[in-house]
Amino acid sequence: MAEQAYTTDDPATRLGLFDFAFDHAPIGIALVDLEGRILRGNAAFARLVGLPIKKVIGTHFKDFTHPDDIDADMHQFQQVLQGRRDGYTIEKRYVRPLGDVVDVLIHVAAMRDAEGRVVRFISQIEDITRHKEHERQLAERAAQLELAMEAVRGGFWHMDIPSGKFETSDRLAQFIGGQTAARLDLERYVSRVNVNDGAQADLTPLISGELDQNVAEYRLDTIQGERWMRCDRRLLRDGDGRPLKIVGMAIDFTDERRRIEQLEESASTDALTGLLNRRGLVGEFAALQSADGFVVLALDLDGFKQVNDVHGHGVGDVVLCETARRITGAVRSHDLVARTGGDEFVVVVAGSRAAGMAAAERILERMRAPVLISGGSTHVRASIGGVWSAAKRDITGLINEADALLYDAKASGKDAMQF
């Protein structure tokens, strides 16, 4: 019997894609009714609250929210119900049954009927416990550095939101331009930020009041050359809660960054996706056995830069994790899957050329499905270059050959493969 074809225009297909993305998303997702009770949640959400999903259904989100965080969450929840906003983003804490606390970042969006009435909410929940611990450590360091400001490599800046006036401190200006440098305005400061890090330095979420504080990491051109800066930015509001001023402290953490990179280079897995990294791939490939040869697939995402530019790096990370899950699901358990760069992946199929081409086709097909993100979905595609070798050869050489074919696939129109 011929296989029936479906398109994303088909309602049943769209619903199936939503259900699949909902249930298998790497972050928690929950549907909430107008009273704040959980209607549906996925496995990642159940892990965050530390309860079986059946026990979560019907409970109010206040039941597992830290008592100190309930008022702020309920305030914004009520604002959406009152039509004052369409959604909100908030950091808060979940308290699990055994008492351990999980820091989460929640994006809440209202779902409306045809008449525009709010009928329920959809929430995306990210575990930011490690990030919060990182921020707490940074806050401790900042407090210590205040006692010895003369030793700080970096400095402060502030921005008045109503007037748009931005100004660095003398110390930060001197760190950037030397002892005689004048204070920098926003245009001159941003001109010093590495062009590839512009999204990280963006102040829009703070200016709009979406966030009250965040930490950005970006490269800055200084008198000492390009340095990695960690900038703690905090929003100050007026008496009516309107965004008033942003204050930031930029600290040079180049040495720490380099130590982290060295640790990552010595590891065998990718910290974001859990896949093998290049080092891990080399080691695993050395032990891989196959009587039918080996296929090396080099994969690159089409449209990923636009995702980062439009939605930010947080959504970009969601797309990378979903890509890793789709690729892994398209191959066998003993095949190798690695993330070797930003949006670059390598797959090694132990088997024939035909087996490798079939795996590539499955990956391409899976990557054509939309990726669910906060407030909707986004799309990326994949281009693949593939090489088959009857005998085991140097993995680096095989990857280079596959990379060359990958560029041919991109040149031919993308969303394609070249063997």
Catalytic residues: 343
Only one residue has tokens 């929003």, namely 235
Query: What separation in angstroms does the CA of 351 have from each of 46, 134, 288, 335?
Result: 38, 44, 11, 9
Alpha helices in 64-153 (DSSP H): 70-81, 129-146
* Geometric angle at alpha carbon 216, from 211 and 217, rounded to 5°: 170
Element (H, E) at 109: strand 101-112
Contact by Cβ (8 Å): 156, 175: no
Instruction: Return d(Cα 256, Cα 228) in angstroms, integer.
Output: 9
Residue 62, Cα to own-chain centre: how many angstroms?
A: 27
Using DSSP's 3-state secondary structure scheme, residue 379 falls into coil
Alpha helices in 95-234 (DSSP H): 129-146, 170-177, 186-190, 198-201, 204-207
220 contact partners, CB below 8 Å, separation of at least 6: 176, 192, 193, 194, 226, 227, 228, 229, 250
Element (H, E) at 350: strand 344-350
Element (H, E) at 229: strand 225-237
Query: What separation in angstroms does the CA of 346 have from each of 102, 279, 306, 349, 367?
Result: 33, 12, 22, 10, 15
Name the token pair of 44: 């990642």
Largest CA distance in the chain: 79
Edge-to-edge strands, sheet with 243-252 = 165-168, 154-160, 243-252, 225-237, 213-222
CB neighbours of residue 330 within 10 Å: 20
**Nearest Cα to Cα of residue 382 among 397, 361, 356:** 361
